[in-house]
Structure formats: C-alpha cells, structure tokens
Amino acid sequence: MIENPNDFSHEPDDEQGETAAGTHQFVTFLVGDEVFAVDMAPVQEIIRVPSVVRVPLAPYSLVGLASLRGRVLPIICLRRIFGFEERSPDDSTRAIVIDLGQPMGFVVDRVASVLNVETDRIKTVDDIRSTVNSDLLTGMLRDAGGYAMVMVLEFGKLIAREFAGITAWSHTRNQAVATSGYLAGTQEDIDSDERQLVSFSVADQEYAIDIARVNEIVQIPDTIVHVPNSLPHVLGLMTLRERLLPLVSLRCLFHLPTRPLDEKSRIVVVTLGTVAVGIVTDSVSEVLRVPLDQVDTLPALLAQGGELSEITQICRLQAGRRLVSIISVDHLFCHSAVREALDAVAALNAPPVEAADQIDTEDEEQVVVFLLASGEFGVPIESVQEIVRVPEELTHVPKSPDFIEGVINLRGSVLPVIDQRKRLDLPTLARNDRQRIMVFQFDGFRTGLIVDAVTEVLKIALHTISPAPRLSGEQARLLGRVVNLEQQGRMIQLINPAHLIDGGDSHSLAAMNTVWQ
C-alpha cells in the first residue's frame, strides 16, 4: 500500500514542524503493538541501532552510550520505559535521535513514515486511556498514516520522568532542526510483490533508491573537505564516525542547476559491499511501498547511455500522475565521478608518513584502565597506590556492608576490600585469576577495589575526553567523564576516585581500619 503523498512534506518550512497552512509534521513509529508519533522539529536523524557500552548506576531504560560522529550519544529503550517485553534488535529496529537540550537516541521497533497532519485531525488527550500514561502524551492523531489513532509522545516529559538527574532540558528549540530523512523497516515487513524505496527530491524532481542499499541518512556536516582537481560532481569528503565519506552531488551528476546547500539538504549514504558514498539531495521525503506492477523498466528510447545510465526504472503513483525515478546504485558506482571520489578516500586513508604519537604531555591524561562486566573504566594513575592479586581467601567482617568482601593482610597492614561489581550494581562474577585488587587512599585510610582485570596504563589526549551525559545523580558524581576513542571503537568511562566511596561507607571503612589495626 502506497502512502498518500499529500501526507508527506518535501520541504518543511519552520522550526515548529509546520509545513503548510493548517498542517503539522510528525515522524510515526511502532513500539510493540502501539503506534506513536513525535513532532519533527527536535528530530535530528534516524539511524540503525549502534553498538553501546553499558553505564553503571544508570536507569534501567538506558541501553548504554554510543559514539555518533565524535559525540557521546545515550541510547534509550522505549520498550523498557513502557514496560513492554524486551526483544533483540533486528533489521527494522531504529534509534530516533532527538535533541531536547542534549541529543539522545530512542530505540523503536520500526519507523513507519513522515506525515503532514491537518490541524483538525490533532486531538487532545482528555479522557484517553491507553497502555501509556496519558501524562506523556501531547495529543492524538486521527486517521493518520493508515492508523485510526496515533499517540503523540512528549519526549521532554518522558525524559524528565525517567532521568530525574538530568538538568537543563529544553522543551522548545529556537534553532530546531527539521529532519525529514529516515530509514524504515526492511524486507521482512514487505510483501513479496512490493518494492520499498527511500524517496528524495532534487531540483523539484522525485528520485528513489532501494532501501536495502541505503545505510543511513544524515545532515550536511559543518565541514566538507574539498578534493583538489576533482570533477564538479564531487563536493568533497566528510567524516562519518571516524571514516571518510565521499560526497557526490546529484544535481551536478544529472546536469541540473546548482544551488547552495541548506538546512533541508540531506545526505543519503549508499553502499556497494564495504564501500560507501554520500549522495547529496535537496531533501528526503519518505519511504515508499510500491507494488511491483507499478514499477516499469525505463523505455530504451528514454534511457540515457554511457555514464548517465543510473536511472533504470520508473514508479507510477497516483494513477500515473506522480512519477518517481529509481536510481540503480550498481550503475551509480560505475560513474567516473563516484569512482574518483572513492579513489580520493583511498589516497587519504593511506598510512601517514610521520608517527602520530608526538603529543605534548600537557595535552594528555594518564589513566589506569580496567574491566568491569565487559565495560572499560579508567582512573587517574596518580590515584592508584598499587595493584595486587586477589588472595584465595578473604577474612569476612560480620555486619559489614554487602559490597565489602572482607579484609586482607597486605604486607602487615589490614586492607578492607570492596567488590566493585556490587558497588556499581553489576552482575556478580566468580573469582578467577584475571581479577585484581586496585589499592586507593581515602581520607587517610587505604581500601582495595576488586575489578575484573587491569588491562593497561593509557595516555589519553584531552580532546578525546568529554563530560558524560548526566543520567542520575550518583552516576554523574562517580562517572562524570567519558573517553571516546572512536577510531579504535572504544569508549572508556572515567571514574572520579573521590566518589568511589560515599560518606556513610567511608565512616564504616575508617572504623574497620581502626578496629583491625
């Protein structure tokens, strides 16, 4: 079934999601059996669910932290928030990146569509009861996108309720980004007699690419690096998750009039095997589900030969009144402009001549890196007094806090030992040879912390360290910073040693030290 094209906007006009007189723009998505919508204005982009690192002491709904183009992005599961049964991500699962003061990715089962909804079809939540508390809703959409009723979520309230420790959330944006590009479901959601296509506009003409060849859709970056002596079709290179992505202009490729890139322009990232190219479009419109009998091969007399043979099929929509040209990604990658852009990336990715480790030590921080529940953590090297093996037996101390494993004799001194997994509410682990005790000094007394393994002493460039998202009060005090080594695919959470032991625990440990001396 083809979505009504009148329900989609090709060029959203203002920052509040308004696209035309009397209409409002929304992204609709599914979580479980429920259909929801969110105002388009704070939606930055929609991506496949990235790999994450777990954050101790964070709310249950937080899946973890991901890296998105050098920024730390919290990933939140809406199924957990709504109390739905959990399921593993599949090809349809997406993360909607919403910025309400801080970008956050919300995992949904499937993105359905981008809709323009007439104002008179937006209803209030009075007297509405559903599986989701109506306090989290701003309204209901009637007869939208093929659904009788769609719930409009208020993400500002949802975040404020779920993450009480987060401050400075903004419910309105003066410079909201209206992102109309997205990826939706995969072939599992498509009948065998349909094609699913991502459609976009170039010079007021509609084009589309098979969704299976589209990796993601992103905004125009702040910086595009020009490739010297390149063809006009090659706009340059951008960095996408620490990888260089060549950008090719469809306007130039199709010999259409050029125009400056603006906030509506989008980059459709397409892949051929392991190679990716960013196709620059004027705007991304929607995902089309087109019956095969409405897809025609381009007549031979109309097909352009030579290099411009990218368009091989045409969709006939609305009884033939709306024609959408389907671009063949395989043919596109054969074009000389695309090959030149890929060659430029290959040249720039060649190993550097000079070593890259000559960094001023004043711009570095040295940390001891250790493992807990497959996550990497670090503490300043000067805070660690020593690292010792865990003995076969620890002396248990009656009536001590649960996370205190006991005491050991360390060269004639009694050392209280804490199981750091229990301290951070992580799953327990049976004793093994890799575990170590890291010894710290707290307020005049020493304490040992059991960790899964100590892996390395690492010099970290300061520019890779950023404040961690504030997800809870205790998490913010203990894990206030994060190291994003995106090129290595690593994220290290830095622990503030001063907050490893809170006030009440420090009194207990101090008393324990006094008793055993």
- Tens digits of residue pLDDT in 422-445: 877 788 888 888 899 999 887 777
The CATH number, out of the four listed (3.30.1490.190, 2.40.50.180, 3.40.50.10860, 2.40.30.10), of the domain defined by the range 5-162: 2.40.50.180
Nearest to 41 by CA among 170, 132, 168: 170
Q: Which residues contact 362 (CB under 8 A, 6 or more apart)?
A: none
The confidence score (pLDDT) of residue 289 equals 82
Query: Whose structure tokens read 């990336």?
Result: 345
Q: Which residues contact 240 (CB under 8 A, 6 or more apart)?
A: 69, 218, 269, 276, 278
Percent of the chain with pLDDT over 90: 9
Report the CATH number of the 361-516 domain: 2.40.50.180
Give the strand pairing for 243-249 and 283-291.
unpaired
> What is the domain partition of the chain in residue ranges?
5-162, 190-348, 361-516
Nearest to 481 by CA among 459, 471, 500, 496: 496
The confidence score (pLDDT) of residue 227 equals 67
Query: Whose structure tokens read 């360290």?
Result: 465
Nearest to 199 by CA among 292, 14, 324: 324
Query: Helix, strand, coil % (nearest 5) of the chain?
Result: 20, 45, 40
CA distance 24 to 14: 10
What is 190-348's CATH superfamily? CheA-289, Domain 4 (2.40.50.180)
The confidence score (pLDDT) of residue 303 equals 46
Q: Of 1-5, 75-79, 268-272, 450-454, which gets the smallest average pLDDT? A: 1-5
Average pLDDT over residues 224-250: 77
Nearest to 454 by CA among 397, 386, 393, 403: 386
Q: What is the rounded (10 degree) CA torsion for 462, 463, 468, 474? A: 10
More confident position, 7 or 226 = 226
- Exposure of 233 in the CB half-sphere (CA atoms within 13 A): 19
The confidence score (pLDDT) of residue 203 equals 87
Is the pLDDT score of 15 beyond 60? no
The SS3 assignment for 442 reads: strand
CA 125 vs CA 29, 78, 122, 140, 141: distances in Å = 19, 20, 10, 7, 10
Please indicate whether the domains covering 5-162 and 361-516 agree at the CATH topology level: yes
The long-range contacts involving 307-312, CB below 8 angstroms and separated by at least 24 positions, are: 307/334, 307/335, 307/336, 308/253, 308/254, 308/335, 310/253, 310/335, 311/207
Torsion sign across C-alpha atoms 84, 88, 92, 95: positive
CA distance 45 to 268: 12
Is the pLDDT score of 16 beyond 70? no
CA distance 69 to 79: 26
The confidence score (pLDDT) of residue 242 equals 67
**pTM, rounded to two decimals:** 0.56
CA 218 vs CA 97, 224, 436: distances in Å = 11, 14, 44
Is the pLDDT score of 464 beyond 70? yes
Average pLDDT over residues 238-245: 76
Q: What secondary structure, in 3-state letters, does 195-261 show? A: EEEEEEEECCEEEEEEHHHEEEEEECCCCCECCCCCCCCEEEEEEECCEEEEEEEHHHHCCCCCCCC
Average pLDDT over residues 460-474: 81
Q: CA angle, 378 as apex, 374 and 379 as ends, to 5°?
A: 145
* Structure tokens given for 388: 């010792």
- Beta partners for 140? 123, 151
The confidence score (pLDDT) of residue 244 equals 78
More confident position, 11 or 76 = 76
Average pLDDT over residues 122-149: 72
More confident position, 352 or 76 = 76
The confidence score (pLDDT) of residue 133 equals 54
Is the pLDDT score of 490 beyond 50? yes
Average pLDDT over the chain, rounded to an integer: 76
The confidence score (pLDDT) of residue 77 equals 93
Is the pLDDT score of 185 beyond 50? no
CA 16 vs CA 42, 216, 306: distances in Å = 9, 24, 45
Q: Of 168-172, 296-300, 339-343, which gets the smallest average pLDDT? A: 168-172
Query: Whose structure tokens read 């009861």?
Result: 129
Residue 186 pLDDT grade (very low, low, confident, very high; cuts 50, 70, 90): very low
CA 246 vs CA 114, 130, 200, 348: distances in Å = 27, 46, 19, 11
Residue 233 pLDDT grade (very low, low, confident, very high; cuts 50, 70, 90): confident
Residue 79 pLDDT grade (very low, low, confident, very high; cuts 50, 70, 90): very high
Q: Of 11-25, 42-56, 268-282, which gets the smallest average pLDDT? A: 11-25
CA distance 96 to 470: 19
Q: What is the rounded (10 degree) CA torsion for 188, 194, 200, 206? A: 180
Query: Whose structure tokens read 């992103």?
Result: 218
CA distance 308 to 255: 10
Nearest to 265 by CA among 213, 207, 218: 218
Is the pLDDT score of 29 beyond 50? yes
